[in-house]
Amino acid sequence: MNERQGTVDIPGFLGSTENMALIESAILKFSDIHPTVIQFHPETCCRVAHEWFRGLSCAHNAVSGLPAPWLRMRWRWGPLERPIHWCQIVERDTIDCGALSALTFESMVAIGEPAWFVQLIQNFDVGMVRDWEHFWRDHGGSYWTFGPLVYHECIAVRSSNDNGIRIWDPTVETLSDQQPLVGHDSIVAIRVLQDDGGGVPSQAFFDWRGFRLPPDEWCVVAE
């Protein structure tokens, strides 16, 4: 078979045993991180904010047909303290990748499209990662970094085949179909979460770029 099974046993990341060990250590560090959840206060404040967001999502989708492309026009990327509630997030100017993904997921649910939460580990220049750690120093610092590797949140949307998905990154507003699997800004590991909140039935695996990804498991995809 030509299909690649996504598992932590896939050999090689830039041809280096040390780098594969780094990825596996990063997976251990990030395994307990859960996707961002925007919470509700018991009062009506959050329900009003939630309905406002869903209404805007439906209106924008009717015009563009893309997964919530208006989010980056409304919110800048930056640190975010948790927990975060709906009534708070609509008042903010800056949110992080997790909140952007949570909003995009909610937008997809609002328009009746299937979606899944996706967690990525990406490879970046160490100097760039240190700059981010400095920027986040008062907001949890390096909980989402590990050397040159960083934790990132996106969503998956359905592609044309039955089990196929495409990954939408709302932080940079792009699909990851052409994102490298080696080198700078590459995806080195991925976990697609089976979540009933997306309104879709469970499935045994997800097809993505030739990989068969089991749900809820970290899979190394680095070349």
- pLDDT for 26-52, tens place per residue? 999 999 999 999 999 999 999 999 999
CATH number of 145's domain: 3.10.620
HEC-encoded secondary structure of the chain: CCCEECCCCCCCCCCCHHHHHHHHHHHHHHCCCCCCCEECCCCHHHHHHHHHHHHHHHHHHHHHCCCCCCHHHHCEECCCCCCEEHHHHCCCCEECHHHHHHHHHHHHHHCCCCEEEEEEEEECCHHHHHHHHHHCCCCCCCCCEECCEEEEEEEEEECCCCCEEEEEECCCCEEHHHCCCCCCCEEEEEEEECCHHHCCCCCCCEEECCEEECCCCCEECCC
Q: Which domain holds residue 177?
A: 4-220
Average pLDDT taken over every residue of the chain: 84
In this prediction, residues 93-107 reach a mean pLDDT of 93
At 180 the pLDDT is: 77
Number of domains within the chain: 1
